Structure 1
Amino acid sequence: MSLSLIDAENTLASPVCALAGRAALRLALTILWHPQAQRIGEQFIAAAGSGDIDVNRFAPLFGGLAGNAQALGHRRIARDALRLRRHRDHGVSLLPPQSRMRVELNGAMLAGAPVRCTPEQVDAGLVIGLGGVVLLCVHWMDRLPQASAIAAVHGVGSAAIRVRELIRQVAATDLPVLLLGEAGSGKELAAQAIHQASARCRGPMVTVNLATLSETQAVAELFGADTGALARVGGGTLFLDKIGTAPQAVQAQLLRVLKTGEYRPVGARADQAARARLIGASDHDLHDGSFNQSLLRRLEALVVRLPPLRERRCDIGVLALHFMQAWSTRTGSAPELPLAFISQLCNYDWPGNVRQLGKVVQRALSAAQAGQPLAFDALVPGVAERTARVRLGQLSGQAVLDALEANGWLIRNAALALGVSRPSMYKLIGKHPAIRQIGQIAPAEIAAALAAHGGDTGRCAAALRTPSEALRRYLRRQAAGKLL
């Protein structure tokens, strides 16, 4: 059983794992890119539990909000299936098809042998390329897709659905709101969505970026008698971006506004009623003691956390398409971007989040329109160094061992599963005290291991805790020496 259509009558985010825990998570395939742009964002959502998913030209069926579920269909996608096998530890194995179709995993060619990806890799989203024409994201869903009137938050994954549902719930109240998220994650868009969905939508929304103001400027900007934000916003919404940088004196006055609903305008002799709804936003922890904790407790009446883009990889295709359509609306047309470039977009971790993605897509479209080559490293300076540094820094010694053991001690497949290059994998292996170099193992021990495992080099490599490639090279040299 699978879900490829949406229940349009469902108005909740429908957490499917609330009762059964992680075991009830559903493995989902989202179309990141397709020659037919309207298909980007369509999904196939498998039933909960273990089981295989065959992906080929005719299956599975992908559906969107409009229904009409259909297979990938492209002639360059083979009839022989790429098989996805979910394991009980929530890892996923990729079993390549018996065909010449090009299959990529996280931007690298998939060899003929199966690759087992760790639960952490699946949590991050696996990017699969098929036939050089389609990109899919393999990820988890903890709730069912649903239609939403919150158009400002683009995305089809669980994180985007969760944020839209929170915005809808928050907009129905008049309480203060605190938006938390990394820089570029869309906090101002979320504030605008809350305002537009609220009963205050007919009033103005005034934004003040406190990081750009000194204490004197902030007091005047917020509490000025006639021109201050509180005076101008009336019964609308006041959005305070970077609220964690507000001077202490300003924090104290904001606390009074939330406590009493009043404030003293600059130079005035009498208090004035503050009718605005307050939304604050911060990209760092406000519990470190430097921020007024009484103010924080009042701001935390309602909290909406905006996830970083690296935690919603399945949405990158939808977001990239949105930026391309916006470019086309402004300029009258948008050039096509090659799939290899889109694959790089989908495999990058985006430290600048949605804002950075949007800027890179715009640069790429501008370059393509001018007939210039699309060099991802040039459009995103430092991408190669940062990607390698982050991935290697996040990998534990146990993760390296697990990847090797899950992939028959094949360096290539283990590197694919971990999302690192082969040179990086060799470095990790060289530093690991539990992984043995073939030259350090006595020939008698190698011979005994081969005999114990019937000459199976994969099982022998696992027993010796040495890479399969090194063991095979050793055996070839031994055989050549005997022939001489």
Structure 2
Amino acid sequence: MPTEARGRVLVVDDEPNAAKVLSAILSDDGYRVFCAADVPQAEAILSRKDIDAIITDMKMPGKDGMQLFEFASERFPEIPVIFLTAYGSVDSAVHAITRGAYYYFIKPPDYLKLKGMLARAVEQCTLKRELAQLRKRLAGETGAERIIGGNLEMVRIYEVIEAVKDSGSSVLISGETGTGKELIARSLHYGSIRRDKPFVAVNCAAIPRELMESELFGYEKGAFSGAVARRVGRFEAASEGTIFLDEIGELELSLQAKLLRVLQEKEIERLGSNRKIRVNFRVISSTNRDLKKDVAAGTFREDLYYRLNVVQINVPPLRQRKDDIPLLAAEFCREFGLKEGKELDLSNEVVRSLCDYDWPGNIRQLRNIIERAAVLAKGGRITPRQLPDDIIGGEAGERGGGDGKTLRELQSDAIRKALRECRGNKSLVAKTLGISRKALYKRLGELNL
């Protein structure tokens, strides 16, 4: 059984032998086990790893299991906590149960019963997380948004995101307008150890130049005419989290110099103040321009470019990943069907037309087209009647993957391609296709793959 198959368990016990025995038993049962000898070490692991259940001793030197339970309940309420306790502290364990702990066992535990209880606890944690994600999506929240696609270039982007998500290094995301650069920035943040900290997005192209400095750095009361109260800037608001500088190439040179200093020193000064404020943030920036050409032309600082471009992610335009169009269109169809109170699907003719089109506006344009069609659709299916004339005609581009295939065949092709490019790793396949593993296995069965 794969290491990750049954979940990740944190075992907390100050007795090394007890932790070693329990770790070996759970590892043999298919769990990935992390061990901590005390509460501070356990808290550090919880902050870095995605844990599905905690098994903790009640009595330990320093902070005890109850204090760990309180920490986990506040920071990670979805993670079930199972206590191991001696006879003398049963009352404490029962008290913890009344406050929301999952279960408790008297030491030494019945390991068969413990494994059964743990399996149910991990399943409960998984269901809670899936429900939370569903609620976010239905409420239109922008938390851990999904990137959808099985194209080889997209698989490489997922691999980069996974590798650098917890790093403090700057990331520069480049690509045409509408390719989903902000979605990648949000995935980097909400998939990282900073997920519970602020994500602050700044559109450098949308804020007037004369207001940009005060937006970024904030100001004190009376700093200029109209400054009737102190205002915290975007960098200060992003402290301990991530600041996303969208369309960084639009920033004027004078502000580029100030930005470089902030990135180097991790200090800001509000306008109208001489006091330096320490800020700890990660910077992710994006651009639809060729910043190397801007550097050569003298409109973008070379030192700032290298400071921002520690890790670069290049997002391909939609016309270069047309095999992802059926997946994207189906997801948007589901999303807007829910909003409109309709159960919608796409006709084969619509899918072929979408694949034939060149999408100058990229994913954003595709999303808008599907939203429009979902509003106009009268039955349970989106047909060519709901598409604009230029999409139906397909004059803008070459045939991009329709080839007369049915939607079922296109889905099958997309899954087969993802299986090849992910070398059969079904967890990665599900992630790249933007679906759960359970949904992937269901589709594999339906398509006889």
2:172 aligned counterpart, secondary structure: strand
Which of 270, 273, 280 lines up with 2:275 in the alignment? 270
Which of 346, 362, 370 lines up with 1:353 in the alignment? 362
* Matching residue's letter, 2:264: K
Contact 2:322 2:400 (C-alpha < 8 Å) held by counterparts: no
Distance (whole Å) between structure 2 residues aligned to residue 218 and residue 274 of structure 1: 18
Map 1:46-85 → 2, pairs under 5 A: none
Which of 356, 374, 384 lines up with 1:374 in the alignment? 384
In the other structure, the counterpart of 2:235 is 230
* Matching residue's letter, 1:198: S
Distance (whole Å) between structure 2 residues aligned to residue 317 and residue 286 of structure 1: 32
Measured after TM superposition, the shift of residue 377 of structure 1 is: 6.6
Contact 2:330 2:345 (C-alpha < 8 Å) held by counterparts: no
Measured after TM superposition, the shift of residue 383 of structure 1 is: 6.3
Q: Percent sequence identity over matched residues?
A: 33
Q: Which runs of 5+ in 2 are unaligned?
A: 6-143, 220-230, 403-449
2:252 is the alignment partner of 1:247 = yes
1:19-48, CA deviations, whole angstroms, 9 ceiling, x for partnerless residues? xxxxxxxxxxxxxxxxxxxxxxxxxxxxxx
* Matching residue's letter, 2:359: W
* Matching residue's letter, 2:285: G
Contact 1:178 1:302 (C-alpha < 8 Å) held by counterparts: yes
Contact 2:204 2:245 (C-alpha < 8 Å) held by counterparts: yes
1:284-332, CA deviations, whole angstroms, 9 ceiling, x for partnerless residues? 1011232111100111111111111111111111111110111122223
Measured after TM superposition, the shift of residue 202 of structure 1 is: 1.1
Contact 1:317 1:346 (C-alpha < 8 Å) held by counterparts: yes
* Matching residue's letter, 2:176: E
For the pair shown, which has the larger CA radius of gyration, 1 or 2?
1
1:281 aligned counterpart, secondary structure: strand
Measured after TM superposition, the shift of residue 232 of structure 1 is: 1.3
In the other structure, the counterpart of 2:303 is 294
In the other structure, the counterpart of 1:282 is 287
Map 1:6-405 → 2, pairs under 5 A: 152-225=146-219, 226-288=231-293, 289=297, 290-369=299-378, 374-375=384-385, 378=388, 380=390, 384-387=394-397
Contact 1:178 1:279 (C-alpha < 8 Å) held by counterparts: yes
* Matching residue's letter, 2:370: V
Measured after TM superposition, the shift of residue 338 of structure 1 is: 2.1
Task: Output the TM-score relative to the length of structure 2.
Answer: 0.51
2:377 aligned counterpart, secondary structure: helix
Contact 1:224 1:266 (C-alpha < 8 Å) held by counterparts: yes
2:331 aligned counterpart, secondary structure: helix
Distance (whole Å) between structure 1 residues aligned to residue 249 and residue 360 of structure 2: 20
1:193 aligned counterpart, secondary structure: helix
* Matching residue's letter, 2:147: V
2:346 aligned counterpart, secondary structure: coil
1:212 aligned counterpart, secondary structure: coil
Measured after TM superposition, the shift of residue 159 of structure 1 is: 1.8
Task: Output the TM-score relative to the length of structure 1.
Answer: 0.47
In the other structure, the counterpart of 1:445 is none
In terms of mean alpha carbon deviation, does 277-286 or 322-331 score higher?
322-331
Contact 1:368 1:374 (C-alpha < 8 Å) held by counterparts: no
Measured after TM superposition, the shift of residue 215 of structure 1 is: 2.3
Measured after TM superposition, the shift of residue 151 of structure 1 is: 6.1
Contact 2:171 2:284 (C-alpha < 8 Å) held by counterparts: yes
Question: In the superposition, relative to structure 1, how do residues 417 and 367 fare at CA in structure 2: closer, same or farther (>3 Å)?
Answer: closer
Q: Report which of the two has the higher share of helix.
A: 2
1:414-440, CA deviations, whole angstroms, 9 ceiling, x for partnerless residues? xx8999xxxxxxxxxxxxxxxxxxxxx
Distance (whole Å) between structure 2 residues aligned to residue 8 and residue 181 of structure 1: 36
* Matching residue's letter, 1:219: E
Distance (whole Å) between structure 2 residues aligned to residue 325 and residue 418 of structure 1: 22
1:206-246, CA deviations, whole angstroms, 9 ceiling, x for partnerless residues? 11101012222110110114321012122111001111001
Distance (whole Å) between structure 2 residues aligned to residue 311 and residue 235 of structure 1: 36
Distance (whole Å) between structure 2 residues aligned to residue 317 and residue 382 of structure 1: 15
Contact 1:223 1:229 (C-alpha < 8 Å) held by counterparts: yes
Number of aligned positions between the proteins = 248
RMSD: 2.9
Distance (whole Å) between structure 2 residues aligned to residue 217 and residue 258 of structure 1: 20
Q: Which runs of 5+ in 1 are unaligned?
A: 1-6, 11-149, 392-415, 420-484
Measured after TM superposition, the shift of residue 264 of structure 1 is: 2.1
Measured after TM superposition, the shift of residue 191 of structure 1 is: 0.5
Distance (whole Å) between structure 2 residues aligned to residue 256 and residue 364 of structure 1: 48
* Matching residue's letter, 1:252: A
Distance (whole Å) between structure 2 residues aligned to residue 263 and residue 354 of structure 1: 36
Question: In the superposition, relative to structure 1, how do residues 372 and 155 fare at CA in structure 2: closer, same or farther (>3 Å)?
Answer: closer
